[in-house]
Copies of this chain bind each other. A is one copy, B any other.
């Protein structure tokens, strides 16, 4: 249902948030639980190929949850499976597993973008260009400092993404399950141990959504600046593989930068849903069930934004002559631009 998804999001990221991946994550949670509770079940029972996720969703409409039919199917094959969990335990844990897997792909794209920004910052540490405020020429700066600004935003977004807590969920129907079991479950899956269940305290989802929004913002900012600097009248950068036009084959469109901005908007819309929900008592009657598509979309489009920003920066052609020409009336005093580039690079290296 996500229109033109291959346009925005590279295949591995699309797969990481696919229904098949969600199913695999739910089964991974179920299997970990079965192991802890000593339920006897063949490994086959937990293979995603054994289930038809579309059919489970169709069936699950009657329960507002795909886990109710999944648990039924599981129990048919292995009576002790699903154990003390509630469907929210399985889905919330699965969402964290999906988030963890997708996050690593987002970070890989972000790292690629950061590396490209580093290269630009180093190469153009002293390349004079016009600084622009309110889109008016102001004072000189260097292109390296502009790239360093992008870099710092990448580094911060990465930090927030890594700092986002990804806790397991195992509270049972109303969140009163033994914390010891919850801890072993979390350990088994490599997730964090929450203080108490978070069935209706969506702090972890909101924090993750905020971090994805930060990724989108950092990448959208790159897209915006590239689009502005690539205007014909400015001409300070161009895309090596600029996109074409269906009606004007000669036109050079900064397609990757445009997609970075589009993805950033799509991240923000979905993140806003994830941050703003009200969850009733021990499980929400609507706000929770709205999270799954929004979380997948926020993750995937964040990855799409990072991939597009990376592509844009990796293939960015910089035109110092044009920069110099545009800045010719501003004098050549770039202040501490170079020292600031060095600060940004040092900050980048610190994170590693």
Contact = CB atoms under 8 A, between A and B. Distances in A.
Contact of A175 (B149, B213, B295): B149
B296 A172 contact: no
Contacts of A84: 247
A295 B18 CA distance: 20
10 contacts: A2-B296, A134-B284, A149-B197, A179-B336, A217-B278, A254-B285, A260-B286, A261-B287, A265-B287, A272-B272
A32 interface: no
Interface residues of A, number: 155
Given A152-B196, A261-B287, 15 more contacts: A3-B293, A4-B66, A5-B293, A7-B57, A133-B199, A133-B281, A137-B251, A141-B282, A153-B201, A173-B247, A224-B278, A231-B233, A264-B286, A265-B277, A271-B275
- The complex is assembled from copies of this chain, and their number is 4
Interface stretch (A37-45, A184-192, A203-211): A203-211
Contacts of A286: 220, 223-224, 227, 258-262, 264-265
Which 3 A-B pairs rank lowest in CB-CB distance, beginning with the nearest? A131-B174, A261-B286, A176-B335
Contacts of A243: 62-65, 68
Interface in A245-280: 245-248, 251-266, 268-273, 275-280
A216 to B, nearest CB: 9
B87 A247 contact: yes
Contacts of A334: 176
A210 B291 CA distance: 18
A262 B249 CA distance: 36
B258 A175 contact: no
Interface string A3-36: 1111111000010011100100000000000000
Interface in A316-352: 326, 334-337, 339-340, 343-344, 347
Contacts of A248: 138-139, 173
Count chain B CB atoms within 10 A of each CB in A2, A54, A174, A263 and give the residue with the most: A174
A50 interface: no
Interface in A127-176: 131-141, 145-146, 148-149, 152-153, 156-157, 160, 172-176
Contact of A261 (B178, B231, B268, B278): B278
A320 to B, nearest CB: 16
Interface string A78-102: 0000101111101000000000000
A77 interface: no
Contacts of A229: 281
B4 A22 contact: yes
A255 B63 contact: yes
A232 to B, nearest CB: 5
B4 A17 contact: no
A14 B1 CA distance: 6
Contacts of A271: 275
Given A14-B1, A71-B246, A152-B201, A133 B261 contact: no
Contacts of A207: 160, 210, 214
Contacts of A1: 1-2, 5, 9, 14, 17-18, 296-297, 300
Contact of A136 (B65, B251, B337): B251
